[in-house]
A = this chain, B = another copy of it.
Amino acid sequence: MVLHYPNGRAYHQSVSDKMQPKRQHENSDIVFGNRGMSLEEELNQSNTYYLQKDIAVIHKKPVPIQIVQVSYPKRSAAVIKEAYFKQSSTTDYNGVYKGYYLDFEAKETRSKTSFPLSNFHEHQVNHMKACTRQGGICFTIIKFSVTQQLFLLPAAILFEYWDNQSKTKGRKSIEKKVIADFGYAINYHVQPLIPYLTYVDKLINK
């Protein structure tokens, strides 16, 4: 079942991910042919690996829900009967790695040549700016789903494009070339599936 957010994007049942037993990828075939997996699932799996190996503690934040009605059946769990999806005021993922606070968004696009800034909400960008001012390490993991290319884009580049877009002739997207030049291409790996902390190390050592 594919659920949809009010904005029409697929929902992938990520909210319930944590309820399920941790999936292990014994079958490495999946790694290079995982076209059915969402970026979020791929990252959750990578974070489980990092957690189990005591490398980092990074979690997907639960989707915020506005609860309106709950019923309390006798002898069984409370059931939420009416609730709505809310827009998150922060980003998808945060946590701690080598003493650093990490905060990032995961974004997939079907565009082939550039990453549309409309993928971000103002409050997400403002949240990353605030975290950056506090010394946090912020970035976006972008997946070009048609070509299955992955990049880690430092927040500074996003901020520059974001702040420029309202100007005359300001671009509404970041060219893939810019992302490749100022960010880091990430190749899919076995364990973890998306070895993004390797590139966070580069951000730290910059």
Name A's B-contacting residues (CB within 8 A).
3-6, 11, 13, 15-16, 18-19, 51, 54, 56-57, 59, 61-67, 70, 72, 77-86, 88-90, 94-101, 103, 127, 130-131, 133-136
Contact across chains for A4 and B78 when beta carbons are under 8 A apart: yes
What distance in Å separates the Cβ of A60 from its nearest Cβ neighbour in chain B?
Answer: 10
Residue of B nearest to A16 (CB): B66
Q: A3-B67, A4-B72, A15-B64 are in contact. Are A85 and B80 (CB under 8 A)?
A: yes
What distance in Å separates the Cβ of A169 from its nearest Cβ neighbour in chain B?
Answer: 31
A97 to B136, CA, bound (A): 8
Residue of B nearest to A135 (CB): B99
Which residues in B have their C-beta under 8 angstroms from that of A130? Answer: 51, 54, 57
